[in-house]
A and B are shown apart, each in its own frame.
Chain A
């Protein structure tokens, strides 16, 4: 059987039900780009709770999941609405315990990157030049330091992060889950190799031959992928390089709505609980949305891999 005949393609409902369970440690990554809101909204609709949510930048996606009561704990390195301001739902949970107290485990960006890398490499820790002189190790006792066995003094270390499931959005994959991405790569690859299960969500399903024509672009191989979900525009309101731009109006609207608990609830009722799936969410967007968010065109020059027969 060729790879093209094998398939890991699943629907979003089916994939989330199969791979996300109450109490799991979940990483939906994507640094500013390729943030899979479609998966998060489905997890919220399925009523998952008690999750440990890991993400460098919790962003709107985890602000919404915290507001929905999905999370017990947040593992992160930057709590902001990028370019807009605060994450009000998470702040309410941290500052006032509303809707429920939220445990936090906080690192810096390099610390989180190092945690996924150690997780992916199956190493006991990741050493990095950071945290000396900072109060972060006092706030988070899992940030420690070790003496270099080569006599170069001490170095900060962070523990590996191996999520139960990583959900990663990408531009395209074949049916077997070989996924290609371009633009900001974030920690997509490291999170995929670190996780026990991986769901890849893509804008397009392509033939295996397309993947094989440009192997350098394959960041996540089928080897580590459990399921592929075809969900075009599944990262809205974040962006996917070359496919669509960030819908900043949505980021601003959430900033406004999320300041108030009742309004937050109303927003979730309208955009998450009030729709059956991503397709019905997309139908709610104004008709000109995709024209407004069009990426335009800037193609890469092709390269010759050669034919070594």
Chain B
């Protein structure tokens, strides 16, 4: 009998599997943190976790409360100043994959974490960039983890905080951005990639039991599908056991 699992567990396991073979990952807090730690225990044993707080090669002994949790420091390979972290590691091109999320994303993977509404009189003032703008600019690849929803997958962003593929096509490369931009979007209902020519988000796989209509209903533009839409493989019993017993025993992110 297949194991039962939550939508969050599906997202985390799928994000972790996307890291197969990766060596350096820039980790955000929350779901990406759990996904990266799961990947290190499964598909990417050589994975080094890098946090914008200045930590390289973290081995957190507990689920970090934030990207600045002291558990990320104890036992890490290196802890450096933030000018070194952003200058030497990120801008120096050493980050293979960075995880990002945001309040809003558009079809080209541009993201908004700054405001809902106008900048000067915002309806909702969001946290802002943090390191997201330079991470989106410099990481070799960006993986995005976000729940689907019409308020977040929008036709037009209220504010572009972090550049994705900009207006699509070759715009990103033409502007001279060093990193390759968004490659994968893992959601609670499907996985999306980006068309190699147009750079538009395309559905690559639907999670088990999810219909195309259910996905389209949560997205604010007419979604495109990749040539051959697959079913996302469900989480395995080993992955679920690691998540539930070791990585997030309190179920903070997995339920």
Contact = CB atoms under 8 A, between A and B. Distances in A.
A128 B83 CA distance: 11
Interface in A110-137: 110-111, 113-114, 117, 128-136
Interface stretch (B15-23, B175-183, B204-212): B175-183
Interface residues of B, number: 54
A91 interface: yes
B5 interface: no
Nearest to B175: A132
Main secondary structure of the interface of A (DSSP, over half): loop
Nearest to B129: A108
A185 B80 contact: yes
A295 B70 contact: yes
Interface in B26-55: 29, 52-55
A185 B81 contact: yes
Q: Interface extent on A, as a size class?
A: 35 or more
Given A109-B82, A134-B160, A135-B161, A129 B125 contact: no
Interface stretch (B61-69, B145-153, B192-200, B227-235): B61-69
Given A109-B82, A187-B83, A80 B70 contact: no
A279 B161 CA distance: 42
B91 A129 contact: yes
A295 B172 CA distance: 46
Given A83-B29, A109-B130, A245-B70, A31 B54 contact: yes
Contacts of B81: 185-187, 189-190
Contacts of B82: 31, 56, 109, 113, 185-187
Given A109-B82, A183-B79, A78 B163 contact: no
Contacts of A135: 114, 119, 159-161
Interface of B: 29, 52-55, 64-70, 73-75, 79-83, 86-87, 90-91, 110, 114, 119, 121-134, 137-138, 159-163, 166, 172, 175-178
B133 A134 contact: yes
A180 B130 CA distance: 26
Given A186-B82, A239-B70, 11 more contacts: A32-B67, A78-B128, A79-B125, A106-B114, A108-B134, A132-B137, A132-B175, A133-B163, A133-B175, A139-B159, A186-B81
B28 to A, nearest CB: 11
Interface of A: 31-33, 56-57, 76-80, 82-83, 86, 90-91, 94-95, 106-111, 113-114, 117, 128-136, 138-139, 153, 182-187, 189-190, 239, 241, 245-246, 248, 295, 298
Contact of B68 (A111, A134, A184, A189): A184
Given A82-B67, A94-B122, A139-B119, A185 B79 contact: yes
B75 A298 contact: yes
Nearest to A185: B81
A114 B138 CA distance: 16
Contacts of B132: 108
A186 B54 contact: yes
Contacts of A82: 29, 65-68
B86 A109 contact: yes
Given A133-B163, A133-B172, A109 B70 contact: no
Contacts of B66: 32, 82-83
A248 B87 CA distance: 31
Among A80, A135, A182, A245: residue with most chain B CB under 10 A:
A135
A214 to B, nearest CB: 16
A106 B128 contact: yes
Given A110-B86, A241-B73, A80 B127 contact: yes
Contacts of B68: 31-33, 82, 184
A191 B135 CA distance: 23
Contact of B137 (A94, A106, A129, A186): A129
B175 A78 contact: no
Rank and list the top 7 A-B pairs by shortest CB-CB distance, nearest first. Answer: A32-B68, A133-B163, A83-B66, A78-B130, A82-B66, A108-B129, A130-B134
A128 B129 contact: no
A136 B131 CA distance: 13
Nearest to B157: A135
A32 B128 contact: no
A184 B79 contact: yes
B133 A94 contact: no
Among A134, A187, A241: residue with most chain B CB under 10 A:
A134
A139 B68 CA distance: 27
B61 to A, nearest CB: 10
B102 to A, nearest CB: 12
B120 to A, nearest CB: 9
11 contacts: A79-B128, A83-B69, A108-B131, A110-B90, A128-B134, A133-B175, A135-B161, A184-B54, A185-B79, A190-B83, A298-B75
Given A32-B69, A33-B70, A139-B119, A184 B130 contact: no
Contact of B114 (A110, A133, A139): A139
Contact of A117 (B75, B83, B123, B163): B83
A131 B138 contact: no
A114 B83 CA distance: 7
